[in-house]
A and B are shown apart, each in its own frame.
Chain A
Amino acid sequence: MEKRNKWGLLVAPLYAFTLLFVLGPMVYMVLVSFARNNGDGYGFFWRFTTENYTKIADPVYLQCFVQSFKLAFSTTFFVILLGYPFGYFMARLSERGKRRMMFLIMVPFWTSSLLRLYGWIIILQAKGVMNAALMGLGILKKPLKILYSYPAVLIGMIYALLPFMILSVYSSVEKMDWSLTEAARDLGASPFQAFLTVTFKLTLPGLLSGVILTFIPSMGLFFIADILGGNKIVLVGSLIQDQLTRGSNWPFAAALAVILTVLTSLMIFFYRKITHVKDLEEIF
């Protein structure tokens, strides 16, 4: 009994911090989402209402959710498409090659994501490097206007989140027991069959953690849409920020946040159910 209490003390800081600064704020957010906004100006008062939630059904706000999910899905799709083969091929390199490739991935990963996005502005802007090159080669006659558009935001999102997918796929391919794939081949499976039924299934946990590490942030990275998309693409993230600062409607912002949290949690829940993976693969 005494022994148990001693170890219990070690968890105390984590328990205290989590209860006070994670659970506390979350519960408070849910409460605020049912409060009423002071019609003009700041603040809100405690009288129960669900109007913050019914307001979300307004097509203007619904559109934000649709756009956010569309962007998050397409980002995740392209990140899988580009990242899975990369992680797979990388794990098949020689030890030396792996080390070098890991270094190459870690450098941009550690460099500020904002500044990396800034590099894309230089490339994509109307008088930027890409248009200059394409027009110099005679491929284009008029400059392409990619910056401040949906494709630019998508490029920025994929670019920012690809390393997460690469690293988690890499770590699960790396850990894989190749003799299983060989066994499938020996038993007469074609390379493609062996890949699909053995390799792919065994690396699914890595893919899953990659998907989660891509999908969740892509719902909230409003600054990428802000920088590369101008004001044209309004995501839930930007909407929440707007409601908090300029609109100063905290209850509505809280309701938006609650819905966003519930939706993303549901996505993860169903995704896990479908893929039968329970734990997040440890990466890094």
Chain B
Amino acid sequence: MKGKRFALSKLYLALIMLITYLPLIMVVVFSFNDSKLTAAWKGFSLRWYQELFRDAALMEALANSIKLGVISCALAAVIGTLGAIGMTRVHYKSKGMMEYLSTVPIMVPEIILGMVFMAFFSLLGLPFGMVTLAIAHTAFCIPYVFMMVKARLVGIDPSLEEAARDLGASPARTFWDITLPLIMPAVASGCLLAFAMSFDDVVISIFVNGPKTSTLPIKVYTQIKTGVTPEMNALCTMILAAVIFVLAGTSLLRRQKARPGKRQ
């Protein structure tokens, strides 16, 4: 009885995963299709990959997206981490309100954030482009880093820091040698998540991008809207390959790191 139920639950997991991967499989298969239509198979071809690399505008958008992701991630990492550390050690009256406010960017629908940024930036007279994109992306990247680091800080055993202080380390030294290494994993995963969100964002970017600066998701959005283009299949396949490569790499690294630790 119990074994049967277990098999059913596994069947359910497999079924949902199959549906999840179905569109991805379609995209990969049709990226090698030698036809402009994505309806029928006409034979193997790499021409869409060639066209993809020849598409200068798309390549530039890709470069922009990576640059934007790195900039906003780095800014968010610094502001969010420092903020989370500071928050646990100060007791202003405004603290609760401030904590809420700093997570607002991921608590309201994206479209709201996009429109208020657009209105506000034109009020400030900022030229729309990389700068406005970076500010907007940093704003919604900060909550991810902030929340993850804060959660990690709560979990840290305070006696570790006390021990360091008792042994004569200065507050700065204690922070550098004890606290920072302990929260680093949270900073890293917050950053990864923030980068993923930035790299994937359409809604906010549409409002704050400039006439000359476009990001990859915006380019993809405008292309998909006008219809099906096989180039997009090739692009999706490449991104998919990159994601699998990075994820497999990090999980391998993690496992290698975990192994010697387990022996102790």
Contact yes or no, A111 B240, CB < 8 A: yes
In chain A between 127 and 158, which residues have their CB closer than 8 angstroms to a CB of chain B?
A: 127-129, 132
Distance in angstroms between the alpha carbons of A12 and B148 in the assembled complex: 19
Residues of A within 8 A of B87 (CB): 11, 14
Question: Chain B: how many interface residues by the 8 Å CB criterion?
Answer: 85
Distance in angstroms between the alpha carbons of A93 and B108 in the assembled complex: 34
**Complex partner residue of A216 from B78, B107, B203, CB under 8 angstroms:** B107
Distance in angstroms between the alpha carbons of A268 and B107 in the assembled complex: 10
Answer whether residue A4 sits at the interface, using C-beta atoms and an 8 A cutoff: yes
Contact yes or no, A11 B83, CB < 8 A: yes
Majority DSSP secondary structure for residues of A touching B = helix
Contact yes or no, B139 A220, CB < 8 A: no
Residue in B9, B85, B119, B244 with the greatest tally of chain A CB atoms within 10 Å: B119
Question: Chain A: how many interface residues by the 8 Å CB criterion?
Answer: 87
Contact yes or no, B39 A127, CB < 8 A: yes
Answer whether residue A90 sits at the interface, using C-beta atoms and an 8 A cutoff: yes
A167 CB → nearest B CB, Å: 11
A107 CB → nearest B CB, Å: 6
**Complex partner residue of B23 from A22, A90, A123, A127, CB under 8 angstroms:** A123
Distance in angstroms between the alpha carbons of A173 and B200 in the assembled complex: 28
Q: List 5 A-B contacts (CB under 8 A).
A: A21-B120, A101-B17, A108-B21, A257-B116, A268-B107
Q: Which residues of A contact B (CB under 8 A)?
A: 3-4, 6-15, 17-19, 21-26, 28-29, 32, 82, 85-86, 89-90, 92-93, 99, 101, 103-123, 125, 127-129, 132, 159, 162, 216-217, 219-223, 226-227, 236-237, 240-241, 244, 250, 253-254, 257, 260-261, 264-265, 268, 280, 282, 284
Counting from the closest, the 7 A-B pairs by CB-CB distance are A119-B23, A220-B109, A14-B83, A10-B86, A11-B86, A25-B120, A115-B236
